[in-house]
Chains A and B, each alone.
Chain A
Amino acid sequence: MKFRGAEAIVETIEWNGKTVVSKKRNRRGYRHPSLEKKLVVERLRSESRIMERLLSQGISVPAIYSVNLSDNSILMEFIDGLTLERALRKSEFEDYLVKTAEILSTIHSLKIVHGDPTTSNFLVTDRIYAIDFGLSSISDDDEDRASDLRVFLESLDSHHSEINGRDIFLEVYSNWKDANPVLEALKVLELRGRYNLMRG
């Protein structure tokens, strides 16, 4: 497998006798070199630290084997699953949405926001894994959490407009005891951004 993501080349390689995923951030020629360097190092560090933290709490994310700052790469566990984006086209889509809402609320309860939880960033096996923590950060700010929800709902709306996943997802998310202020923040965010229709 080799996949060119938005900011990294993700491929499976053989490492110590097993198949692992290498995620290597390649240089962006359009970005100013010092901005590029700053962003790459920041994101690499934050990504590996946050994944370690989630792993230690028993959340389904790929295990990290190695982090290499000299070539901006991370080696991690290979999860052989279907992206949620594809899985949602199956008849079990409701079950997948429920599990995704559970994992995202658990991540939020650990004071972590994913930063880019689109439907491409969850993998479905016998359970659901959250992947790609490249834009994640440590935060217990309800607006940051709401922003996660919005990213997810938006990718749901733009890729899976044929199913009404929003209600299912939000209902399960709201089971988390601290969900209410996040859902309030989501309302505000939606009024301010995409649903603030006053544009010229």
Chain B
Amino acid sequence: MNSIILGIESTAHTAGVGIITSEGEILSNQRSVYIPEKGAGIHPREAANHHSENLPKLFKKAFEEANISSDDISLVSYARGPGLGPCLRTGATAARAFAYSNDIPLLGVNHCVAHLEIGLLEGAKDPVLLYLSGANTQVIAYAAGRYRVFGETIDIGIGNGLDKFAREAGMGFPGGPKLEKIAEGDELIDLPYSVKGMDLAFSGLMTAAKQKVDSGYSLPKVAYSVQETAFAMSCEVSERALAHTGKTELVLGGGVACNSRLREMAMIMAKERGVKCFVPERALCVDNGVMIAWLGYQMMNADYEITDKDNVVNQKYRTDMVEVTWR
């Protein structure tokens, strides 16, 4: 039977409500993003305030767009981690209130795994996921019952690094897309390229980039070089993971995967390697409720049994803590 699932996302900047059918048809994908004051990073409590103000509106819009009522929903799924505590609790509270008042089953799911699973909706079967977002920079693939992290940043997330560099160069949030817009040039400024096995590091690169700007290089040229270097590193570690696991599909996920240059580089790498590259549309790469709903559906469809511990938020809910019972 075709059922309808509602998903709630609230792990960091984004409050999202998504509605998807069990056939994978997206009925609505509503999002609202908290923008910190210029020059400042995310403030967890203020982000949570933003989410609690906006989630009711997003619910309303989502139901309007999907043209359904709460009676049509068979599962409420929400991201229970990883993320910022106040933000997670706000989303969980909204999910509980909605599920319990309408007598619908409730399931908390892992945010990072949702990024991967939504890539499978694009047609990938057993991919390596290059997951690049603000706080997360991981290369993930399925092995022996879990999504395992083959490589990841050993200091800061790529998106947070780009945001920080942009902020220090006087640009507002989100810094990554702003850098992409101004990036220009074809000559590369030498910046630290830091790959250790399948792991990466970005903080040295961002610090060096800031120093280049301070010493007189033009911001667009430095932005260009930062992108070239950081994305080449990301493509290299995913290529290493592909070689290491022998898998033949690559999926991109996370907000930074919206970047056109990154998408281009990943596609070139996949083509040269002879693997398939799946790039979800931008609205599904960024944090969103649809992917949360879709993962919830995958789990329930495999007769996942919800226990009390599934409905406790967990700020430190790692990708490899999830037992994958639905594959």
- By a beta-carbon cutoff of 8 Å, the part of chain A in contact with chain B is 4-7, 28-32, 34-35, 38-39, 115-118, 120, 135, 147, 150-151, 154-155, 157-159, 161-162, 189, 192-194, 197-200
Task: Assess the A32–B272 pair: CB atoms within 8 A.
Answer: no
User: Contacting B232 at CB < 8 Å: which of A31, A150, A189?
Assistant: A31
Contacts of B152 in A (CB 8 A): 193-194
A95: min CB distance to chain B, Å: 23
Known A-B contacts A158-B143, A161-B144, A162-B144; A197 and B193 likewise in contact (beta carbons under 8 Å): no
Establish whether residues B155 and A6, one from each chain, have CB atoms under 8 Å apart when the complex forms. Answer: no
A-B contact pairs, 26 of them (CB 8 A): A4-B243, A6-B239, A6-B242, A29-B271, A30-B235, A30-B264, A31-B232, A32-B228, A32-B232, A39-B193, A116-B196, A116-B198, A116-B240, A117-B197, A118-B197, A118-B198, A118-B244, A147-B197, A150-B199, A154-B150, A161-B144, A161-B146, A192-B155, A197-B315, A200-B82, A200-B83
A118 neighbours in B (Cβ, 8 Å): 197-198, 244
Verify B199–A151 contact, CB threshold 8 A. yes
Q: Which residues of A contact B90 (CB under 8 A)?
A: none
Known contacts A29-B272, A30-B232; A193/B315 CB under 8 A: no
Of B136, B188, B190, B197, the residue contacting A200 (CB under 8 A) is B136
Picked from A7, A147, A194, the residue with its CB within 8 Å of the CB of B239 is A7
Q: CB-nearest residue of chain A relative to B232?
A: A31
Residues of chain B within 8 A (CB-CB) of A155 are: 150, 244
Q: Is the CB of A35 within 8 A of B11?
A: no
Q: Are A197 and B265 in contact (CB under 8 A)?
A: no
Contact B315 A151 (CB under 8 A): no
Interface pair B196/A115, CB less than 8 Å apart: yes
Q: With A6-B240, A7-B236 in contact, do A192 and B197 touch (Cβ < 8 Å)?
A: no
Closest beta carbon of chain A to B216's beta carbon, Å: 20
Asked if B73 lies at the interface with its beta carbon under 8 angstroms from chain A, I say: no
Q: Which single member of A4, A32, A115, A120 contacts B273 (CB below 8 Å)? A: A4
Minimum CB–CB distance from B317 to chain A (whole Å) comes to 8
Cβ contact of A116, chosen from B197, B229, B273, cutoff 8 A:
B197
14 more A-B contacts (CB under 8 A) besides A192-B154, A193-B153? A30-B231, A30-B264, A30-B265, A30-B268, A31-B228, A32-B232, A35-B232, A39-B193, A147-B199, A161-B144, A194-B149, A198-B82, A200-B82, A200-B83
Judge if B119 is at the interface, Cβ distance under 8 Å: no
The answer to the question of B195 belonging to the interface, with a C-beta cut-off of 8 Å to chain A, is yes
Q: Is the CB of B143 within 8 A of A159?
A: yes
B107 CB to nearest A CB, Å: 20
Indicate if the CB atoms of A135 and B243 lie closer than 8 Å.
no
Number of A-B contacts (CB under 8 A): 123
Distance (Å) between the CB of A91 and the closest chain B CB? 19
CB-based contact B82/A199 at 8 Å: yes
Shortest distance between the CB of B212 and any CB in chain A (Å): 15
CB closest residue in chain A, given B314: A197
**B199 near A200 (CB under 8 angstroms)?**
no
Size class of the B contact interface (CB-based, 8 Å): 35 or more
4 A-B pairs with the lowest CB-CB distances in the bound complex, closest first: A197-B316, A151-B197, A200-B135, A30-B265
Q: Specify the chain B residue showing the minimal Cβ separation from A26.
A: B272
Interface residues in B209-234 by Cβ distance below 8 A to A read 228-229, 231-232
Knowing A117-B197, A147-B154, the reply to whether A6 touches B243 (Cβ < 8 A) is yes
Chain B residues closer than 8 Å to A5, beta-carbon distance = 243
B266 at interface by CB-CB < 8 Å: yes
Q: Please tell me if B61 contacts chain A, counting CB pairs below 8 Å.
A: no
Docked Cα-Cα span, A191 to B54, in Å, equals: 35
CB distance from A113 to the nearest CB of B (A): 9
CB distance from A43 to the nearest CB of B (A): 10
Q: Provide the residues of chain B in CB contact with A198, threshold 8 Å.
A: 82, 315-316
* Residue B12 at the chain A interface, CB threshold 8 Å: yes
Q: Are A151 and B196 in contact (CB under 8 A)?
A: yes
Q: Is B289 an interface residue (CB 8 A)?
A: no
Q: Closest approach, in angstroms, between the C-beta of A111 and any C-beta of chain B? A: 17
Min CB–CB distance B12 → chain A (angstroms): 4
Chain B window 249-289, contacts with chain A (Cβ cutoff 8 Å), 1 for yes, 0 for no: 00000000000000011101101110000000000000000
- Tell whether B178 is near chain A: CB-to-CB under 8 Å: no
Collect the chain A residues with CB atoms within 8 Å of residue B136's CB: 199-200
Q: How far is the CA of A66 from the CA of B314 in the complex (A)?
A: 54
Any chain A CB within 8 A of the CB of B91? no
Chain A nearest CB from B89 CB (Å) reads: 14
Chain B residues whose C-beta falls within 8 Å of the C-beta of A34 in the assembled complex: 187-188
Residue from A35, A135, A189 having most chain B Cβ neighbours under 10 A: A35
